[in-house]
Chains A and B, each alone.
Chain A
C-alpha cells in the first residue's frame, strides 16, 4: 500500500545526506538530477555505502542488483544485454517505462557499462519510496493496523511497537517485472 508517513521530501533529504556523507561532499551541491557517478564522483563501492546508510535510516533493504540483472534472470540470458554487451531494445523500453519520464541518456544499443551512471539522486529516492510503499496493511507481529511514524523516518506499530517490515528492493523489482510482463508481454 502506498504509505503517508514518510514524505518524498524527507526521503530526498535523507538520500542527499547519505550521498554527501559517503562522498564527503557538500549537501547543497547535490541536485535531484545529479548522476552519482558522473556528477558526484561515486565509485562502485560507494553505492554499497549509500545503500547501507539508507537501509539504516529507514529500516529497509535496498536492491542488491540492477534491474538489468533481474531481467536476465527472469526472462533468460540475452533478454537485457546482448552478445555485444549492449542493452536490448526491449530492456530500454522497459527502463523508459519504469523511469516514467524521458531519460535522454537512456538509448537503444547503449553499453551496459554506461548503465550505473544513470543512477541519480532522484532515482535512488524513487527506489526508497517504492520500498516504503510496500508497507503491509497490518503489522506482521500483532496483526493490528496502527502504523505511526517515528522521527519522520521509521514506521512503527502503535499497538505492539514493532517496526514495520518492508519488502526488499530486489523482490519489489521482480514483482514489478512480473506485473509489467503480464500486462505488456514484452519478453
Chain B
C-alpha cells in the first residue's frame, strides 16, 4: 500500500474519557474488553411511570474525586456538561503534555455538545410569575430574586467550548459543533481539517452530553427512540441483534488531542495514532428516519476513505455507530455492504454502544478513542447482547467477546438524528 501525504499529517498525542464504564480511558477500555455493560436503572431523576427507566450514568463520585479548584468556579455555568468534558480533557492534556506548549494561540478547541437542559426547578420558578397569556409579573419575579443569568448561559452550547479554552488556556480556533449523534466525530474531523490546513498546531477535540434528566430524557421517550423492552438494564442495548428495539441513553465525555506530526515530533511526545481521513454528509431526507438505502452514510464513509487516500480494501475494522435502533443498524449494515462490497462480511464491525449506551455528542469522540486504544492493543471490542441474529444484519459484529487481532486502519461511523453523518478514518501510527 502506498500512500502520499500531500496535506499535513495529523496524529494523536493524548486522549481521555469519562463514561458509564469508567472514570478514564484505561478503566473504560478494560471493562469494554471484558464485554461489561455500563447500563443500569437511572437514579439521577425520577423515572417512575416512564416506559424507559434505564441509562448509562457517570458515577458522581468519579467527578467528585477530581481535585480541580480552577475549574470549580466555572461549574455554575454548566451543571454537568463542563464537569464531564473537563474530566476527559484533564486526562488527555496531561498525557499529551500540552501545558508545556508555549504558543497558546496555536492550540484550538473543537467540541460537540448540546448544552444543559432546563431544569424542572427553573420552569416551576418561572411559572409562578407567568399568567399563561404572555404577561409576566416582573415585579414579583424580581422580588423573588429574578431569573438567573446563569440559566441563560447553561442553555448555550458554545459556553462549554469557551470554558474549555479558558481552563486550558487555548487561544487558537474555537469551534462548537451541534449535530446530535454526529457531533463528537465532527468535532474531531473539523479539528483535523484545521490542522491539515495549518490553522493551528494542536487541537483539543471531543464531545460531551448529559441528558439523564427529565427534560433531556423525555423528548427521546416521546419520539420512541429509546429501548422500552428489556429483561434487565444491561441487556437493553443490543445493536444488530434481531430483538433490538431502541437505544439506551447515556452520558459521558471524550477528549482527544490531535496535533500536526512535525509539531508532535519536535516536542518529543509519544504518538498514539493518526487521523487519516474524515468526511461528513447529510441524508437530506427526514427528521428521524434514516435514508433507507443509507445514502448519507455511504457518502460519509466513501468521503473519509477518499480523504485518507485509501481504498475500501485497506480497512481492517469498522467501529459502527450501532445504536440498537431498528432503523440505524439496518441502514448502517446496508451502507457498509454498499461501500465494502464482497469484503463487507469479512471485516469486523462492532458497536461500543452495546456496552456504553448512547452518549450522543460524546459518542463519536469516545468511540474514536476506543478504536485507537483497540488498535494499539490489537484488541477489537465486542458487540455485546448479540444473541438473536437478524437476517437483514448479517455482518461480522464481533459478538459478545473481544477479539485479539492486529488491525491498522479503521473507520468510525457516527450518524445523527436529522441525517447528519460523519466518518473518521483512523490509523495505527506507522512513524
Contacts and interface: CB of A to CB of B under 8 A. Distances in A.
A86 to B, nearest CB: 9
B106 interface: no
Given A48-B222, A64-B224, A43 B392 contact: no
Interface in B365-391: 388-391
Contact of B243 (A48, A77, A84): A77
B3 interface: no
A9 interface: no
A70 B229 CA distance: 12
A43 B286 contact: yes
A102 interface: no
Taking chain A's interface residues, is the majority helix, strand, or loop, or is none over half, making it mixed?
loop
Contacts, number: 27
Interface in B270-317: 286-289
Question: Chain B interface mostly helix, strand, loop or mixed?
Answer: loop
Nearest to A52: B222
A43 B51 CA distance: 22
B242 interface: yes
A77 B230 CA distance: 12
A85 B224 contact: no
A44 B242 CA distance: 20
Contact of B223 (A48, A77, A84): A48
B288 A83 contact: no
Q: How large is the interface on B (under 10, 10 to 19, 20 to 34, 35 or more residues)?
A: 10 to 19
A107 B431 CA distance: 60
Contact of B392 (A44, A45, A85): A85
Contacts of B389: 83
A52 to B, nearest CB: 9
Interface of B: 51, 222-224, 229, 242-243, 286-289, 388-392
25 contacts: A43-B286, A43-B287, A43-B288, A43-B289, A44-B289, A45-B223, A45-B286, A45-B287, A45-B288, A45-B289, A48-B222, A48-B223, A48-B224, A64-B51, A64-B224, A73-B229, A77-B243, A83-B388, A83-B389, A83-B391, A84-B391, A85-B242, A85-B390, A85-B391, A85-B392
Interface of A: 43-45, 48, 64, 73, 77, 83-85
Per CB-CB distance, the 3 closest pairs between chain A and chain B, nearest first, are A43-B286, A84-B391, A43-B289
Given A43-B287, A45-B288, A85-B392, 20 more contacts: A43-B286, A43-B288, A44-B288, A44-B289, A45-B286, A45-B287, A45-B289, A48-B223, A48-B224, A64-B51, A64-B224, A73-B229, A83-B242, A83-B388, A83-B389, A83-B391, A84-B391, A85-B242, A85-B390, A85-B391
